[in-house]
Amino acid sequence: MVSYKDLGLSSTREMFKKAMAGKYAVPAYNFNNMEQIQAIMIACVETQSPVIIQVSSGARKYANQILLRYMAQGAVEMMKDIAKEKGLKEIPICLHLDHGDTFELAKSCIDHGFSSVMIDGSHHSFEDNIALTKKVVEYAHQFDVTVEGELGVLAGIEDDVVAAESTYTHPAEVIEFVKKTGVDSLAISIGTSHGANKFKPEQCTKNAEGVYVPPALKFDILEEIEKKIPGFPIVLHGASSVPAEAVKMINANGGALKDTIGIPEEQLRKASKSAVCKVNIDSDGRLWMTAAIRKHFADKPGDFDPRQYLGPARLALIAMYKHKNENVLGSAGKV
């Protein structure tokens, strides 16, 4: 058993309390490799933003759970080094399991030093979702680990999470769910979705520049949920904006992405000023990383040293994370 406190990690409790008071959302960025974690640390220290680094079940299979734990521990030390070098404050870092779907997976992450876990029972019945979430909460709270639950289903594909259609969260259910599970935060479904193809073109309108504009998030549902459980931390999954510049760069350099439509950033900024205090962003990082690598090989096809193409990818990620912290989530300068 490894405590997250021994790794220098932080809990989400204080993070969320400050975020709700300050009307911003803490960024939750997924990572799978060294360049991603480096970019997250550099961007968040330099913008002085708290951060949640997320590991999906797919990432654990890809990178190995032991290695990921040491990467997180190394991220804390890297953060301290950057802060000292630049004369900045150290930032709080939470290590979070994204979309855990079994008690065994959540327990394993808690035992390996995660400071927060998500148990996603949204694919179960309401009663079974409560039972599973409560079981995880009871185990996690013994070690001061926070738990995120989910009500409602997000459409799309991300690693092992697959759903054909969204099911909006029913505000009438949230009080019972929160009370019976003891969960610390709640992921809801109000129109976001997983992956880069969040909406079909026929669901959208086109603006004057010919860019698809998706339907607005269901802020009425969010407001109703806030009334039911005032002051309770709310989470948005599937909140990548799918930047047109990254998609254009990918397709201009051999890619074939079609109908990639994300969540407008102004809607995410609006949500971040509400009870939404954690916003998950994964696909945007994948897109910018792929865009930078494709462009590098198109410009310099003779390169074969991974540092030659992963270096530009890391720079693209740093720029994106800084933009999200400063202009979308409002978390910059909040440590």
User: How do residues 69-100 score in pLDDT, each as one tens digit?
Assistant: 899 999 999 999 999 999 999 999 999 999 99
Across 198-275, the runs of DSSP E, i.e. the strands, are 205-206, 212-213, 234-236
Amino acid of residue 30: N
Q: Report the range of poorest mean pLDDT among 148-152, 256-260, 317-321.
A: 256-260
Cβ atoms 106, 66 nearer than 8 A: no
Predicted TM-score of the model (pTM): 0.93
Q: CA 61 to CA 226: how far, in whole Å? A: 36
For 104-137, write each residue's pLDDT tens digit.
Answer: 999 999 999 999 999 999 889 999 999 999 999 9
Q: In which band, very low, low, confident or very high, does the pLDDT at 213 lie, cut at 50, 70 and 90?
A: confident
Beta partners for residue 93, in sequence order: 51
Q: Catalytic: which of 81, 98, 159, 284?
A: 98
Amino acid of residue 34: M
Mean pLDDT (the chain, rounded): 92
Q: Report the range of poorest mean pLDDT among 46-55, 238-247, 304-313.
A: 238-247
Helical H segments across 242-282, by residue range: 244-252, 265-272
Q: CA 52 to CA 58: how far, in whole Å? A: 17
Question: How far is C-alpha 96 from the chain's CA centre?
Answer: 9
Whole-number pLDDT of residue 152: 83
For residue 51, pLDDT beyond 60: yes
Neighbours of 273 (CB within 10 A): 12
For residue 161, pLDDT beyond 50: no
Residue 98 annotated among the catalytic residues of the structure: yes
Q: CA 69 to CA 197: how far, in whole Å? A: 31
User: What's the burial of 223, exposed, middle or buried (CB within 10 Å: 0-12/13-18/19+)?
Assistant: middle
Q: CA 128 to CA 151: how far, in whole Å? A: 12
Cβ atoms 217, 234 nearer than 8 A: no
- The arithmetic mean of pLDDT across residues 166-176, rounded, is 90
Q: In which band, very low, low, confident or very high, does the pLDDT at 156 lie, cut at 50, 70 and 90?
A: very low
Q: Report the range of poorest mean pLDDT among 151-165, 255-269, 279-293.
A: 151-165
107 Cβ contact partners less than 8 Å away, ≥ 6 residues apart: 136, 139
Q: Report the range of poorest mean pLDDT among 136-140, 152-156, 176-180, 281-285.
A: 152-156
- The arithmetic mean of pLDDT across residues 14-25, rounded, is 97
Q: CA 237 to CA 187: how far, in whole Å? A: 7
Name the strand (E) or helix (H) holding 10: none
97 vs 64: which has the higher pLDDT: 97
For 129-158, b/e burial (b = at least 16 CB within 10 A) is bbebbbbbbebbeebebbbbbbbbbbbbeb
Neighbours of 333 (CB within 10 A): 13
Whole-number pLDDT of residue 162: 44
In order of their start, the domains of the chain are 4-298+305-328 (3.20.20.70)
- The arithmetic mean of pLDDT across residues 267-296, rounded, is 96
For residue 234, pLDDT beyond 90: yes
For residue 164, pLDDT beyond 50: no
Name the strand (E) or helix (H) holding 5: none
User: What's the burial of 253, exposed, middle or buried (CB within 10 Å: 0-12/13-18/19+)?
Assistant: middle
Q: CA 194 to CA 164: how far, in whole Å? A: 10
